Amino acid sequence: MGKQRVLSGVQPTGNLHLGNYLGAIRNWVEIQQHYDNFFCVVDLHAITVPHRPATLAQDTYAIAALYLACGIDLQYSTIFIQSHVSAHSELAWLLNCVTPLNWLERMIQFKEKALKQGENVSVGLLDYPVLMAADILLYDADLVPVGEDQKQHLELTRDIAARVNDQFAGPEAPVLKIPDPLIRSEGARVMSLTDGTRKMSKSDPLEQSRINLLDSPDDIIKKLKRCKTDPIRGLTFDDRDRPECHNLLTLYRLLSGKDKTTVAAECADMGWGQFKPLLAAVAIAALEPIQAKYRELMDSRDYLNTVLRQGQEKAAVVAGATLTRVKDALGYLPPL
């Protein structure tokens, strides 16, 4: 039996932060050798909120370079740009026509983002999860490694696939494969540095709320020095009333590679003044090699172009086959 298929993606909007890394990309890297992986830069999703045309292309390169810099290995994985494979938009349209509107109106991320935008909410923002379903279903993905905030979108993807199968195929020959989310127990919800009850987010207007993968050592030290904590001495993972403490210890654990018991024992008697520089040091050490590789890749435009061209070619074959399958099931006259 061949390897199972993995698909995931990140939007080229703003800087990637530790949440994106620990919730998603790092996990892709860890599991990649066991799967046949497709990782896309979801640039079509990036325009569901107001965006800057002047920086979109550069931001798209930056995410592709960061995938490689974080350790995505082309021996196991294909990297491509969503908008380079037109089947994504086309399947999204077909899925639009089988997805009930009220399924989309229930999406938490839509409600949150729509609230921020007032009257400027686009149809694209509402439709965002259908495009995401198309991304996943085109590749017959078995697993989709994401952070906790994408869980509802994954459930929707499963529901859409099941609905297409119900309406247009028999149970013995489903048209679409139903994927499973892969959400780790740790790192799936990295919290803001300014409020341990809110998730770290690219769209938070407070730069201080997140550590970006490309932050300088100075910035990391400053952000951690100022980050929200509590007045209690002794650090623990397990006090529900100390969300910042849980979050910062988890970051320390994941970035240092130490296990939970070791970190709990090491930090049990520490104060914040002692812990913060320690966390800053492991964050800087973890990000330094990624940043060096990133800079090297961003200076190698020809290489990046080759990677993305080859990725597009490979992705288009897989996606095209699924799209044809769906169109056949829906009864379309094939091109003559």
Enumerate binding residues for ligand TYM (CB under 6 A).
7-11, 19-20, 23-24, 42, 45, 132, 135-136, 144, 146-147, 149-150, 153, 188-190, 199-200
327 catalytic residue (yes or no): no
Q: Please say whether the beta carbons of 109 and 68 come within 8 A.
A: no
CB of 18 to ligand TYM, least distance (A): 8
Q: Which is nearer to ligand TYM, 190 or 255 (CB)?
A: 190
What are the structure tokens assigned to 312, written together? 């597009």
What are the structure tokens assigned to 81, written together? 């740009």
DSSP label at residue 125: H
Q: Which is nearer to ligand TYM, 260 or 301 (CB)?
A: 260
CB of 143 to ligand TYM, least distance (A): 10
DSSP label at residue 179: P
CB of 198 to ligand TYM, least distance (A): 9
SS3 at position 38: strand
Closest residue by beta carbon to ligand TYM: 23
d(CA 262, CA 146): 27
Catalytic residue among 151, 177, 202, 327: 202
Cβ-based neighbour number of residue 85 at 10 Å: 26
Q: Which is nearer to ligand TYM, 42 or 290 (CB)?
A: 42
CB of 140 to ligand TYM, least distance (A): 13
SS3 at position 27: helix
Q: Which residues pair with 9 in a beta bridge?
A: 40
Q: Which residue do the tokens 């890297």 mark?
A: 29
Angle value at C-alpha 224, between 150 and 239, nearest 5 degrees:
65
Q: Which is nearer to ligand TYM, 201 or 277 (CB)?
A: 201
202 catalytic residue (yes or no): yes
151 catalytic residue (yes or no): no
| Catalytic annotation, residues | 113, 199, 202
